Amino acid sequence: MSNEYPVLTVGDTGSACVGEGDQPPAGYVRYPKGKVPQQVDDKWDVYWRTHTLDKDGNVIDAPDAG
């Protein structure tokens, strides 16, 4: 939706949407700039299925990626 932005689960591949003026809830962070999925199966949607961010904001392999 136009008044929301996507957020990524820290340490996992889950995601959610947050209201534009709100901070991500505990356990979620904004996607890194320039790496935000725009639609299902686009480049970044596919990428974030096997990657995630750790608590320090570093990109890591997702726990269930294999």
DSSP string, 2-59: TTEEEEEEBTSS-EEEEETTSPPPTTEEEPPTT----STTSHHHHHTTTEEE-TTS-E
**2 versus 35: which is more confidently predicted?**
35
Please report where in the chains the tokens 């999925």 appear, as a residue: 37
Q: Are 8 and 31 in contact (CB under 8 A)?
A: yes
Res. 65 pLDDT band, cuts 50 70 90:
low
Please report where in the chains the tokens 């995630």 appear, as a residue: 52
Please write the tens of the pLDDT for every residue from 7-60.
Answer: 999 999 999 999 999 999 999 999 999 999 999 999 999 999 999 999 999 999
pLDDT at 39: 92
